[in-house]
Chain A
Amino acid sequence: MKPDSFTHSQWYAIGRIGDFEGANAKPVRLLSQDLTVNNSAGVLSVADAEGRSLQSQIRYGHLWTTLSDNPRPLYDMPEFDEPDRRLVTAGGVGVRCSGLRCVENFLDMAHFPFVHTDILGVEDHSTVENYDVSMDADKDEIWATKCKFFQPLASAAATGGQMTEYKYRVPHPYSTILYKTCPIRENVWDLVGLFIQPVEEDECIVHSFILVFDEDNTDTGLLHFQQNIFLQDRMILENQVPRKLPLDPRWELPTRADASSIAYRRWLKANELQWGIALFDKAA
């Protein structure tokens, strides 16, 4: 299937800037197409299989490209310009499922006590309190706010359990950002996010980042914390059936804890996104 216009018109992260050092040309795959990233004296450019030059830009520590000649603007994250924040990027991790599944899993708080046991949740505190979900019509993005969850080890900087407050943002079908209570500063948010590179309809590469205030942990410590969490998620993601994301509600039975997931699926549906979606009568 060719990507629908909503999917086709987006910018996609295809790797960290450093991933393309030391090679004149590196193959990448995006939306079932083979692309090449060329490195000419440190200047990166992207071309498709016919040699046609594609638009590219460097943002948020990653190289982004688009298959569209007239792409939608890449969403803004002003926190990247704030001083004292530390950016740690985790590198691409291949996952055998639709990237849309990865976004949805990221939005799901109910799995914390059972998948990230004694880190992001404990089984004795498994209730997901009601939270608010809204659509920012001007920016065409989803926000889930007033999310609260007890976490024994909310981040690498945490020293004990805390009731963590979350905000989730979905500004792009294949990107999602978590704004999380900073354990060492008041009234600021740490950011954790996923930039997902959809390789095929049911396969993706997840580029994750953390953008935090943390004066104690090394980059390696922050990276290990994030990678540990994501590898726990990957085991779950790769066992979901179907591998594409179902939009028909008869596949699954959501609860109120899934309100952000429902909003995400409604948003994909409203934008007529079809690439990476499981059809009710055809999915395996």
Chain B
Amino acid sequence: MVTRRVSLEGALSTESCLAMISHFARRLSLTSTITSASPRSISIMLTGDERVIDMFEIACWLGPDDVTVDTITVEIV
């Protein structure tokens, strides 16, 4: 088990993005805490298997219809 800070930047519709994050965290059995959220940036602390956190990152790249994700950074905490 590892903990990572995942930060999304782009044209983020906050409500849609938070719903997506919640959906993937639940589906991947990751523990998630939103640490900041704005229309340009969202940060999440994720705890779980490192390979599954990698899947979370990949899944977030597409984003919901009203979201354009420009960058995703994953930091070791």
Contact of A253 among B55, B63, B64, B65 (CB under 8 A): B55
Is the pair A249, B54 in contact by a Cβ cutoff of 8 Å? no
Contacts known (A250-B20, A250-B23); A255 close to B62, Cβ less than 8 A: no
The chain A residue with its CB closest to the CB of B60 is: A249
Which residues of A in the span 10-33 have a Cβ within 8 Å of any Cβ on B?
none
- Whether A256 sits at the interface, judged by CB under 8 Å, is yes
The interface residues of chain B lying within 8 Å CB-to-CB of A256 are 54-55, 58
Is the pair A266, B62 in contact by a Cβ cutoff of 8 Å? yes
The interface residues of chain B lying within 8 Å CB-to-CB of A249 are 20, 24, 59-60, 62-64
The interface residues of chain A lying within 8 Å CB-to-CB of B65 are 247-248, 269, 280
The interface residues of chain A lying within 8 Å CB-to-CB of B24 are 249, 253
- Whether A273 sits at the interface, judged by CB under 8 Å, is no
A1 to chain B, nearest CB (A): 15
Interface string of A244-268 (1 = CB under 8 A from B): 0001111001111011001001100
Is the pair A265, B68 in contact by a Cβ cutoff of 8 Å? no
The interface residues of chain B lying within 8 Å CB-to-CB of A258 are 58
Is the pair B59, A254 in contact by a Cβ cutoff of 8 Å? yes
Cα separation A64 to B57 with both chains bound (whole Å): 39
Is the pair A255, B23 in contact by a Cβ cutoff of 8 Å? no
Interface string of A224-260 (1 = CB under 8 A from B): 0000000000000000000000011110011110110
The interface residues of chain B lying within 8 Å CB-to-CB of A262 are 58, 61-62
Which residues of B in the span 45-75 have a Cβ within 8 Å of any Cβ on A?
54-55, 58-65, 68
A280 to chain B, nearest CB (A): 8
The interface residues of chain B lying within 8 Å CB-to-CB of A259 are 58
The interface residues of chain B lying within 8 Å CB-to-CB of A265 are 62
Most buried by A among B27, B59, B62, B65: B62
The interface residues of chain B lying within 8 Å CB-to-CB of A266 are 61-62
- Whether A41 sits at the interface, judged by CB under 8 Å, is no
Is the pair A255, B58 in contact by a Cβ cutoff of 8 Å? yes
Cα separation A266 to B59 with both chains bound (whole Å): 12
Cα separation A266 to B72 with both chains bound (whole Å): 14
The interface residues of chain A lying within 8 Å CB-to-CB of B62 are 247-249, 254, 262, 265-266, 269
The chain B residue with its CB closest to the CB of A252 is: B59
Contacts known (A247-B65, A248-B65); A253 close to B54, Cβ less than 8 A: no
The interface residues of chain B lying within 8 Å CB-to-CB of A250 are 20, 23, 64
The interface residues of chain A lying within 8 Å CB-to-CB of B20 are 249-250
Show 16 A/B contacts (Cβ-Cβ < 8 Å), sorted by A. Answer: A248-B62, A248-B65, A249-B20, A250-B23, A250-B64, A253-B28, A253-B55, A254-B62, A255-B55, A259-B58, A262-B58, A262-B61, A262-B62, A266-B61, A270-B68, A280-B65
Among all A-B residue pairs, the 7 with the closest Cβ atoms: A249-B62, A262-B61, A254-B58, A249-B59, A255-B55, A256-B58, A265-B62
- Which A residues have a C-beta under 8 Å from some C-beta of B? 247-250, 253-256, 258-259, 262, 265-266, 269-270, 280
